[in-house]
Amino acid sequence: RDNMAYVPINTFLKYTRYKHKSSVNIRVKGRDIAEVGLLREELISTMRIIRGLKGYEENDFSINEMSQLLDMYASQTKNIYLAMVLIGALSLLVGGVGVMNIMLVSVTERTREIGVRKALGARRHDILIQFLIEALVLCWIGGVIGIILGFLIPFLVSAATEFPFAISIKAVAVGFLFTTGVAIFFGIYPAAKAAKKDPIYALRYE
């Protein structure tokens, strides 16, 4: 039988890191993935015999398969991903509302400018595009700052901890597209409000 190995305890402690441990981990590797299930059953049976467990007693040891660890890792990664998506969505919402408020204040403060432009022949469409572009530029500046920080912070963490990091260019592109969408969605109302202002009222505004 090849399911046991006897070594002196001092030799075991000398060549392992379990001097002050109350548990021992043993790694077993099958020749083929098809053997994993059978190997698991054999390990359980062997360990129960070694530890003198009776048929009605529960296992006082654990056997973890790599597939279980991978499933646990995938589950944790999924939860982290969902949390990041939620945080990102809330950040976009808060940022979008902030952009809309800034643009509304800008429209109010520039009422006379809008009146002058309309008096000089600017159409509603021109005013709309002007303020929409301003909202886009505002969001793009924030997006660029976010991308720079998104590269810089992981780089600094990686340099300090020696953990590698990778940033997907696709994710950056998708984030920039979302930023553009937020700018259009939250900027269209202030832009439309500016475009609809009556030029006579706008010129009288103080």
pLDDT value at position 21? 58
For 164-203, write each residue's pLDDT tens digit: 777 778 888 888 898 899 999 999 999 999 999 888 888 8
| 77 CB burial (10 A radius; 0-12, 13-18, 19+) | exposed
SS3 label, residue 79 = helix
Q: Is the pLDDT of residue 1 over 60?
A: no
For 132-174, write each residue's pLDDT tens digit: 999 999 999 988 998 898 888 888 888 887 777 777 788 888 8
pLDDT value at position 176? 87
Q: Whose CA is closest to 95, among 133, 145, 129, 131? A: 145
Q: Parse the chain into domains and list their residue ranges.
A: 1-63, 67-204
Write out the two tokens for 170. Answer: 């696709």
For 93-125, write each residue's pLDDT tens digit: 998 999 999 999 999 999 999 999 988 888 999
* pTM exceeds 0.85 for this model: no
For 74-100, write each residue's pLDDT tens digit: 888 888 888 988 998 898 899 899 999
Q: Whose CA is closest to 204, among 73, 116, 96? A: 116
